[in-house]
Amino acid sequence: MVKSSKNITLVCKAPKLDLQKIQIGNYVSQILSSPTFVNQFWDSIEMVNRNYITSNRKCIERELNHHPLRSFRFIINKN
């Protein structure tokens, strides 16, 4: 089975100049690739299964990579 790509959508005002588009793209790329952001992401989510809630990163990664997705598994933001 082919895995689908993972996307993040950013909503902001449309920049007027091409240079601004490039600058915004570079800035977002730097934020998303920073170790701080990655750690904050993993700290801020939990997985809800039928019988339990876990913050264990390995369990969450295993579920996110499971295709087709299994029923009654949800990733939630703790904020």
Segment 8-42, tens digit of pLDDT: 666 667 777 788 888 888 888 887 778 888 888 88
pLDDT at 44: 86
Asked whether the CA dihedral 16, 17, 20, 25 is positive or negative, the reply is: positive
- With beta carbons less than 8 A apart as the criterion, state whether 39 and 31 touch: no
Task: Give the percent of the chain with pLDDT over 70.
Answer: 81
**Domain ranges (residues) in the chain:** 18-77
| Element of type H or E holding 23 | helix 18-33
> Structure pTM?
0.52
